[in-house]
A and B are shown apart, each in its own frame.
Chain A
Amino acid sequence: MKKSVVILIAIIYVASVALVNFFGLKDKQYAIEVDVQELVLLNEDTKTNSQGMKWAEAKDEDGDGVWEYQLEWQVLPENATDKTVSITNTSAKKDVEINEETGLITFKSRGVATFKIEANGSSGISLELMIKTS
């Protein structure tokens, strides 16, 4: 093959990548991010104290010295882009386990702890709940 033919084939090869890139790609649809507007606590056994703080009681149903409380929540709107939450223990009580996926709070000893449930993402929406052992 002549040198000029090889060069021409090389040019066509490179041009094919450019042409597919310019004319053959899917139209981009940039996803609109829907922020979390509200976090709603669904637990019905919560009460509000005189300072306006919501609180609930963890129970030791087995009598094994471990108190548990199942958190339930709802993220609104329904089509929010990121519906995950993070649960943080904001009190001094340390022997508390938190399962962020299931919402199960486990107390290893008696006491009171305050929890902050915050929506992940850029909204910053959160709510607080105080849980004490029964």
Chain B
Amino acid sequence: MTNLLILVKMQLKEQFNFKRRSLKDISVFKIVVSILAEILKFALVTVLCGAFLFISSYLGLFSVMNTVPASVMSMVFYIMLAVSVVSCTVGLTNSLYLARDNAVLLTLPCTPIQVYLSKLIIFFIFELKRNLSFIVPLFFAYYYLSGYPVAMYFWMLVCAVLISLFTVSLGALLSIPGMYIANMFRQRKLLQAIVLASAVTLVTVALFTGIAMIPDNIDLVATWQNTCRQVQNVLAAYEKNFAVLYNVSKMMLGDLDIVYITFPVGLIALRALAVLGVSGALFGTGLLCVRPLFYKMASKPLEHLKRRARPHKNVLLPPWLSAIWAELLTAFKSPDRLFFNVAMLISPSMLIFLLNKIFAKMDTSMRGDNMVIAFNILVILLLVLNANTYASSIYSRDGRSSYLIKTQPTSYYMLLIAKLVPTTLFVGVSLIGAMVIMFNTLALPTGSTIMLIIGIVAVYLAHLFFCAELDLMNPKYQLYASMGASENNPNEATATVTAFLLAFGIAGVMFLLMTESTSSFVFVKFLVVALAALVWRSTLLFRNIKLYYKEK
């Protein structure tokens, strides 16, 4: 037990990036500020969820009684649970079997199962934190609007623990075949190509099916009653066809149709026990399966399992091309990076195509046309700028090998910029695709569309250099050295926040400018400002590279 606690503390320290300092060095003010920030974030999410639920009940979207039925919360909960299970499975597969720290942890004086359990505990803590960030505030908002008793709020915290237990237990069990599937993927390029091609085909078919289903003359206000009726029919069908799932979710919603919240006894307690029992069974099954296998699965270096490569002549390339080629090979050989890059290649074009097809079915005014263009800009920027989150940890991901950049007999610029090339290539091609789609679907002159896309590319590159600079000046090698991946990189959080602020800011300003002036000069202004921002950020990046890698 002591070993287990030590393992958990060690990994928590790495994940939360606790600095090695004694308690007296930590300012009380900083602790209070961080606690207040968390409370504020919780309150903000609760208020936003509450606002959405209030507006939807006022408009009678989910029920003619102007309330939010419990089936809505049940559906949302299960959608979030499904997403959590998938991300938990993927995360646990990486953390349990593919993390670099296994090589260190398994050599410590503890049993492999203690290492397994410590990783599960860490994942449980993060899963609980995630549930406290969204699911709990959502239910708190629902309780407040529906007049639930105060005790239910505390009960929800208990339910959050049970849900996290269930998710992690299921994820741990699914990670066992997940590891073998991941291993199979790594070794068989043909399988990767087939799955990728199938996924792209499926998405394309779904897209065109969706477009064919778009009704003519979309007018939500005129057809509001019809829309509400259809939503209510879906909810009724969910209650009828998924009665078991709906019943289990009443653990958090109470039995309103019998007695006003029977808590915490009776059916609610039974459901909670059922969830606990199922979680226990899943956890036990996972533990039984993993016990004889974990050491072998976690310790075998997977990169050595590949088939023998055919020897070929080594071609001498120029240093800059060699650096770029190495990064491209890494991008293609790593399955999750490849899938991410392909997703970035197709998603902006497809989403913009679908969005504009929907907008084309509306009879928009001039203000509506400007809104359509602004939302096109917003969606494209949100996608491409959030793809830069990877760049904010691109140098840190080398972990303890990061110093190798300084040992290469070539300029640092080439090596550092080469790391940014693969994702940039994919995003660049996807932006060209988005431009072609905008030519065909938006009522914009050709010149304006070209200026808009070049401006978006410039903003993307400027943000990319900003994210790379964040990682350069404040690297988090320790985070990636031990875990191989990190949930808690402050650079990634900064990159995400700036991506959202930039996307909303640019879309908002463009909408205002287009409202005031109908000429194409708006796009010229945007292009000029975007190019100026690109020049500024690239200058800063190169200057900081020169400073950071200066040889004494």
Contact = CB atoms under 8 A, between A and B. Distances in A.
Contact of B386 (A1, A18, A22): A1
Nearest to A11: B52
B371 A19 contact: yes
A25 interface: yes
A5 B496 contact: yes
B402 interface: no
A16 B364 contact: no
A23 B364 CA distance: 9
Interface in A99-120: none
A27 interface: yes
Contact of A24 (B83, B368, B378, B389): B368
A21 interface: yes
B97 interface: no
A23 to B, nearest CB: 7
A18 B220 contact: yes
Interface residues of B, number: 35
A20 B375 contact: yes
Interface string B67-83: 00000000000000001
Contacts of B340: 1
Contacts of A25: 219, 221, 362-365, 368
B405 interface: no
B40 to A, nearest CB: 17
Contact of A20 (B372, B387, B389): B372
Question: Which residue, A1, A17, A22, has most C-beta atoms of chain B within 10 A?
Answer: A1
B545 interface: no
B444 to A, nearest CB: 16
Interface stretch (B102-110, B324-332, B351-359): B351-359
Contacts of A13: 351, 355, 379
A23 B355 contact: no
Question: Which residue, A3, A18, A28, has most C-beta atoms of chain B within 10 A?
Answer: A3
A24 B386 contact: no
Interface of A: 1-5, 7-9, 12-13, 16-28
Interface of B: 83-84, 87, 133-134, 218-222, 340, 351, 355, 358-359, 362-365, 367-369, 371-372, 375, 378-379, 382-383, 386-387, 389, 492, 496, 500
